[in-house]
Structure 1
Amino acid sequence: MPESTYDVLIVGAGIAGSSLAHALSTLPRSKPLRIGLLERSLAEPDRIVGELLQPGGVSALRTLGLEPCLEGIDAIPVRGYCVVEDGKSVHIPYPGAHEGRSFHHGRFIMALRDAARRARGVEVVEATVTDLIEEEGRVVGVRAARKAGAEKEAFYANLVVIADGCFSNFRTAVMGSAGAKSTTSSHFVGAVLEDARLPIPNHGTVALIKGFGPVLLYQISERDTRMLVDVKTPLPSDLKAHILTNIVPQLPSALHLPIQIALDRDRIRRMPNSFLPPVEQGSKPGVILLGDSWNMRHPLTGGGMTVALNDVVMLRTLLGEVSNLTDADEMKRLLHQWHWARKPLSSTINILSVALYDLFGADDEQLAVLRTGCFKYFERGGECVNGPVSLLSGIAPSPMLLANHFFSVAFYSIWVMFTHSLPVRSSPDAKLVYTVARVDQYPFLFFKAIRVFWTACVVFGPLLWSEIRWWAPTDTRRRNVVFAKAALPVLAVMGGLVWTLRVL
């Protein structure tokens, strides 16, 4: 069996794998690392996600020296968002001069792979990895075949990094029983629109669709615009009919014809929207999970690449301080340090992605109240926009700031419910009438307000706990975890109430 030996072996040449290969090649060492980058297919990938890089991700790319990968791929500057509901829109710009980028996913991947291929000490190999090689409980390499039916080769390394994406074949083998289970609540159904006109140029559009999930639209090249339609499981038998009948009528009229043409011309593709909280690694020596193979969040906020690139920035720095990659104790300390260091950004984006999806894809009365309140919260502008978009874009990584704004939205939603005009229909066939609640309706609204606030806690609390419960896996830190579980939501509620009173 043919053999190859490396210092670091990376499985998967996607966003995380290619970036890490290049990043490790730049470590200041007397002897450059020998890095192997294995990828099943080096052809340009064609995916419907991974096409919007937030400003925080652009900053990480710049830190890694990979910002030139955004050039020459027809990437589009992104300066914020436009949220649309019922024909109304609210502008949510990135603060200051911050910009993101949107692009065809495959073109960006090819640029990253080219950068890795040119990097010092990196060897890119097209091969399908089939097995991990273990010796005495330690991963020492992988087996892979360069072509279908070809003899498997052994690739050995002091450290193996698994970055094979959301459908990872090795997640369970690495994490074992300690690993969390991914959950999928919906799918994104994607199409590319030609020459579509969005409400605000160079801004992503989030359309809130009553009775269904949100729709995302953003330009990915000079003429192409990506449309992602959220469809809850189980999926309709006829996706095209579902989009044309239920979704398109609620979108801006300028988009109707481009959508019709795109659906007639191209096959409809879909991608699961999965959530996988990160579990601290280190139980199996010699191997690390990176990117979506380890941690996933809902793609609504476009934060996946930002988290992955920031993980690479931190991992590169930490690995640069390790003298012996085969020292199990040293590597376990490194992984523990990495797990904590990445929390402010990863937890913020992970929690926000699912919480915002629950609000934007409101499927019950209480969530609908929160969605309306969220939209009106954005309409206030100022810090009611700057704070949330700074969290979403990776500019302000702070779970506590996120909790503050989330519960501010909850309290403000209750205020809106009492004081703003709400739609009322006297009968199923009657026309909607907008009216402010009467005083005699206040007792009912008071109890409804309690249910709305409880719904907000049910949305946010488990997400927060899914992140903080892995921070302290040892018995010595257990009391700290219990305290955090009890105290953080209380502090978030108090902060949200104070902020809302200031807003009002």
Structure 2
Amino acid sequence: MSSSNAYDVLVVGAGIAGCSLAHGLSTIPRSKPLRICLLERSLSEPDRIVGELLQPGGVIALRKLGIEKCLEGIDAIPVKGYCVVEDGKSVEIPYPGRHEGRSFHHGKFIMALRAAAKEAKGVDVVEASATELVEQNGRVVGVKATKLGEKEEYRADLVVVADGCFSNFRTAVMGSSIGKTVTRSHFVGAILEDASLPIPNHGTVALVKGFGPVLLYQIGEHDTRILIDVKAPLPPDLKSHILDHIVPQLPPILQQPIRIALDKDRLRRMPNSFLPAVSQGTTTKPGVFLLGDSWNMRHPLTGGGMTVALNDVVILRSLLANVDLRQWSEIQKVLRTWHWSRKPLASTVNILSVALYDLFGADDEDLKVLRTGCFKYFERGGECVNGPVSLLSGIAPSPLLLASHFFAVAFYSIWVMFTHPGQVGTIKGQPVYARPPLHHYPALFFKGIRVFWTACVVFGPLLWSEIRWWAPNENVKSSSTIAGFLLGLVAIGWMIYGAVDALG
């Protein structure tokens, strides 16, 4: 191995996490500047259908890292909030204050981040395909890679693997302790040309009866991304499934652009995976750790993945500032501190993403009650909107605030079930709505208990997956679900005041 292939830090993967970490570490004030290698299989512009909406919390993280300029010159669109659409009705959910997100073509943003990394002092961006970890005396000291058909070794005091959701090194770094990814659905994507969204500069979430939610957001002057959630197993004819079942339920203003896009563009899909973060250091091979989607994934419904990754880098950069990278015992302390320091934001985004997906993609009667209650909760405005969107956007990283609003939605859903008109039948094909008569109240009371139970079962295990540090295995799966449910009940007690306050 030539001396030019020896570094202080080796980062595998030049995506969101890898590029931002390489640039971030280059700005650490040290007596001797770090030599950093950023290794990427292909430096050509990637073409993906996710990773195109950056929440305000992510914009703030970019600013802290000094690379907010990466949002310039890529035709990025300001995002000022969300619009939730159901049955022809819509509710606006604006970001609080003057906060804004950005939406863009994923590939353009990645190329801007790579350019920033190349310009950073002490960073070498190398196009090579990492094939395996190199170990010496029980410690990972680098990787073997293929560059222009030739085999090379790249060595470093510290190796960081950030090779994304399809990581080739996830199990090599952590073994069975990393746990298994869970994929419940796929996003099927296309690009609409010159489409008009219900509210400009707002991401649109369309709730579709019987199927998963549909996301739309503008990613360029003329381009609007559509992501259609399709539950596993995928139907054999995706295009017909979308045209027959999904498109007719979407706002009329969008139906024709979608049909045109489906005729012109190939449908592409990405798995929506969930992978809780587990503590690294004691469970990781010495000399290496995971970062980004290779280690922690959440449902992309809320668009929080990039925000979590960038915030992780902000915290990690500070923790590594005065550490001897050759001393694994010091790195272990950093990894433990980092694991819990990132929890307020990461846990909030992770839990919210899956909980919202369970509500918005409801195929269970009790979950449908919660979905209706959630929509009407947003219609109340005020703190019923400001609180949830602050959580979703990464501005207010607080699992406790999330629990407060989640169970406030549960209580309000039950109240809506008792007091608001519901469909009681049809006349000439048109739905007829009426408030439930008093003699229905006993049945609704027991249904309300089931709805409350369902809310606990949704929230409890998600909270449990975030506060534990070890990975669940087949032997403890059922017990962790029970413990998660009990934890959800404890959270209700703690959050009761916040729930009552949110309901006014």
CA offsets per residue over residues 386-440 of structure 1, 9 Å max, x none? 000000000000001101100000010000000001112379x964211111100
| TM-score, normalised with respect to structure 1 | 0.95
Number of the residue aligned with 2:216: 217
What does 1:325-474 correspond to in 2, within 5 Å? 325-425=325-425, 431-470=430-469
* CA distance in 1: counterparts of 2:229 and 2:443, whole angstroms: 33
Q: For residue 144 of structure 1, give the secondary structure of its aligned residue in structure 2.
A: strand
Number of the residue aligned with 2:9: 8
Number of the residue aligned with 1:25: 26
* CA distance in 2: counterparts of 1:469 and 1:270, whole angstroms: 32
* CA distance in 2: counterparts of 1:99 and 1:316, whole angstroms: 25
Would you say the 8 A contact 1:407–1:492 is kept in 2?
A: no
Aligned residues: 492
Number of the residue aligned with 2:230: 231
Q: For residue 150 of structure 2, give the secondary structure of its aligned residue in structure 1.
A: coil
* Contiguous gaps of at least 5 residues in structure 1: 474-480
Number of the residue aligned with 2:313: 312
What does 1:56-135 correspond to in 2, within 5 Å? 56-135=57-136
Change beyond 3 A, Cα 1:402–1:156: same
* CA distance in 2: counterparts of 1:331 and 1:288, whole angstroms: 10
Would you say the 8 A contact 2:211–2:230 is kept in 1?
A: yes
Number of the residue aligned with 1:478: none
Number of the residue aligned with 1:181: 180
* CA distance in 1: counterparts of 2:58 and 2:128, whole angstroms: 29
Change beyond 3 A, Cα 1:500–1:25: closer
CA offsets per residue over residues 181-224 of structure 1, 9 Å max, x none? 11000000000000000011100000000000000000001110
Q: For residue 142 of structure 1, give the secondary structure of its aligned residue in structure 2.
A: strand
Would you say the 8 A contact 1:406–1:496 is kept in 2?
A: no
Would you say the 8 A contact 1:411–1:497 is kept in 2?
A: no
Q: For residue 293 of structure 2, give the secondary structure of its aligned residue in structure 1.
A: helix
Q: For residue 217 of structure 2, give the secondary structure of its aligned residue in structure 1.
A: strand
Post-superposition offset of 1:488: 4.9
RMSD in angstroms over aligned alpha carbons?
A: 1.8
* CA distance in 2: counterparts of 1:336 and 1:137, whole angstroms: 21
* CA distance in 1: counterparts of 2:73 and 2:430, whole angstroms: 52
CA offsets per residue over residues 292-349 of structure 1, 9 Å max, x none? 0000000000000000000000111011020x11211111111000001000000000
Number of the residue aligned with 2:192: 193
Asked whether 1:276 is paired with 2:270, we answer no
Amino acid of the residue matched to residue 62 of structure 2?
L
Would you say the 8 A contact 2:179–2:471 is kept in 1?
A: no
Would you say the 8 A contact 1:160–1:287 is kept in 2?
A: yes
Q: For residue 92 of structure 1, give the secondary structure of its aligned residue in structure 2.
A: strand
Question: Which piece of structure 1 moves more, 429-438 or 103-112?
Answer: 429-438
Asked whether 1:47 is paired with 2:48, we answer yes
Post-superposition offset of 1:43: 0.2
Number of the residue aligned with 1:240: 239
Amino acid of the residue matched to residue 45 of structure 1?
P
CA offsets per residue over residues 62-93 of structure 1, 9 Å max, x none? 00000000000000000000000000000100
Number of the residue aligned with 2:300: 299
Post-superposition offset of 1:129: 0.3
Would you say the 8 A contact 1:359–1:370 is kept in 2?
A: yes
* CA distance in 1: counterparts of 2:361 and 2:338, whole angstroms: 33
Number of the residue aligned with 1:144: 145
* CA distance in 2: counterparts of 1:218 and 1:188, whole angstroms: 14
* Contiguous gaps of at least 5 residues in structure 2: 473-479
Q: For residue 443 of structure 1, give the secondary structure of its aligned residue in structure 2.
A: helix
* CA distance in 2: counterparts of 1:111 and 1:92, whole angstroms: 30
Amino acid of the residue matched to residue 366 of structure 1?
D
* CA distance in 2: counterparts of 1:223 and 1:295, whole angstroms: 33
Would you say the 8 A contact 1:180–1:278 is kept in 2?
A: no
Q: For residue 254 of structure 1, give the secondary structure of its aligned residue in structure 2.
A: helix
Would you say the 8 A contact 1:340–1:471 is kept in 2?
A: no
* CA distance in 1: counterparts of 2:241 and 2:425, whole angstroms: 25
* CA distance in 2: counterparts of 1:487 and 1:417, whole angstroms: 25
Post-superposition offset of 1:31: 1.6
Q: For residue 114 of structure 1, give the secondary structure of its aligned residue in structure 2.
A: helix
Amino acid of the residue matched to residue 87 of structure 1?
G
Post-superposition offset of 1:495: 4.9
Post-superposition offset of 1:152: 1.2
* CA distance in 1: counterparts of 2:273 and 2:416, whole angstroms: 32
Q: For residue 320 of structure 2, give the secondary structure of its aligned residue in structure 1.
A: helix
Post-superposition offset of 1:2: 5.6
Would you say the 8 A contact 1:411–1:496 is kept in 2?
A: no
Would you say the 8 A contact 1:412–1:500 is kept in 2?
A: no
Amino acid of the residue matched to residue 391 of structure 1?
L
Would you say the 8 A contact 2:77–2:102 is kept in 1?
A: yes
* CA distance in 1: counterparts of 2:470 and 2:144, whole angstroms: 33
